[in-house]
Amino acid sequence: MKLTAAKSMRYNGKSLEPGDPFEAVSERDFRILKAVKKAVDRDDVKSDLRERAEDLGIDVDKRWSEETLHEKIAEAQGGSDAQGRGKLTYSRRDMRAKD
């Protein structure tokens, strides 16, 4: 019963952030976490990513992991990193790197 965290939470002694994969301890926990929308079924996440990639014109291989799908989607969308944040830049002078 593989899940992906939808919200920040603690589960089974671990801190989870949105997008973190984890395994439910029991069938009961699996159903409850999905019902309260704290987690989504990992297969649902993968199928959504596959659909998004196909919409962008990417030939999707069914063996690709979630990470690979994120990377391919990011490349197709214009070179932002795998998390979709793009490159970070500093606007303040005191925050710039010194040579």
**DSSP-assigned states of every residue in the chain:** -EEEESS-EEETTEEE-TT-EEE-SSHHHHHHHHHTTSEEEHHHHHHHHHHHHHHTT----TT--HHHHHHHHHHHTTS--TTS-------SGGGSPP-
Q: Would you say residue 55 lies in a domain? A: yes
Is the pLDDT at 83 greater than 90, yes or no? no
What is the model's pLDDT at position 22?
Answer: 92
Identify whether residues 8 and 27 lie together within a single domain. Answer: yes
Identify whether residues 38 and 12 lie together within a single domain. Answer: yes
Identify whether residues 37 and 53 lie together within a single domain. Answer: no
Q: Would you say residue 9 lies in a domain? A: yes
23 or 88, greater pLDDT: 23
Identify whether residues 38 and 49 lie together within a single domain. Answer: no
User: In the chain, what percentage of residues exceed pLDDT 70?
Assistant: 79
30 or 96, greater pLDDT: 30
Range of the domain at 19: 2-42
What is the model's pLDDT at position 80?
Answer: 47
What is the model's pLDDT at position 90?
Answer: 58
Identify whether residues 48 and 70 lie together within a single domain. Answer: yes
Q: Would you say residue 97 lies in a domain? A: no
